[in-house]
Amino acid sequence: MDANVAKLINEQINHEFYSAYLYLEFANYYGSIGLDGFENWYRIQAMEERDHAMLFYQYLQNNGEKITFEAIRKPECTLTNSMDPLKAGFEHEKFVTSLINGIYAAAYEVHDFRTMQLLDWFVKEQGEEEKNAADMITKMELFGADSKGLYMLNAELKARVYSAPSLVL
């Protein structure tokens, strides 16, 4: 495996764990203001991000690459209203997409087709993540100011259940 591609994937493991940490921060915020559905949605989102880290971890292991863990920094976000985590989450997902695209570009440059195949799943996943984040903002803008609408949106998010990714490495 190309050393730069392996380094970028190793860094991505840390970014994915940070994403999980960030989403737990969002879950914690929503729990503190009584929106347990939003809390549930972000706790599950954190589990998904942890799974993404572990997929990259397993991929590097399968390719005989050394994995180096770095410190996960504290989320630096100011959450003062129920829209703040949604907007921060959307911006974060766009950032993660740029990181995945960077790894893909590096793999493409060295004709690392196996890594590109792995990344195809992540490219698709990031499209879904960005759409979900944008949809959450739209729903909050439409219904969040109305207490009955917020109650229904919260109930919808509370119904989300965790399912592990089905990517075979």
CATH number at residue 116: 1.20.1260.10
Give the model confidence (pLDDT) of 55-95 as tens digits. Answer: 999 999 999 999 999 999 999 899 999 999 999 999 999 99
Domain membership flag for residue 166: no
Domain that holds residue 25: 3-158
> Look-up: residue for tokens 């939003």?
38
- What pLDDT sits at residue 168? 66
Q: How many domains does the chain have?
A: 1
Amino acid type, 55: L
With a pLDDT cut of 90, the percent of the chain lying above it is 94
Distance spanning both ends of the chain, measured CA to CA? 15
pLDDT at residue 26 greater than cutoff 70: yes
Question: What gap in Å lies between CA 38 and CA 109, rounded to an integer?
Answer: 41
Domain membership flag for residue 82: yes
Instruction: Tokens for 119, please give them.
Output: 């990344």
Domain membership flag for residue 133: yes
More confident residue, 118 or 166: 118
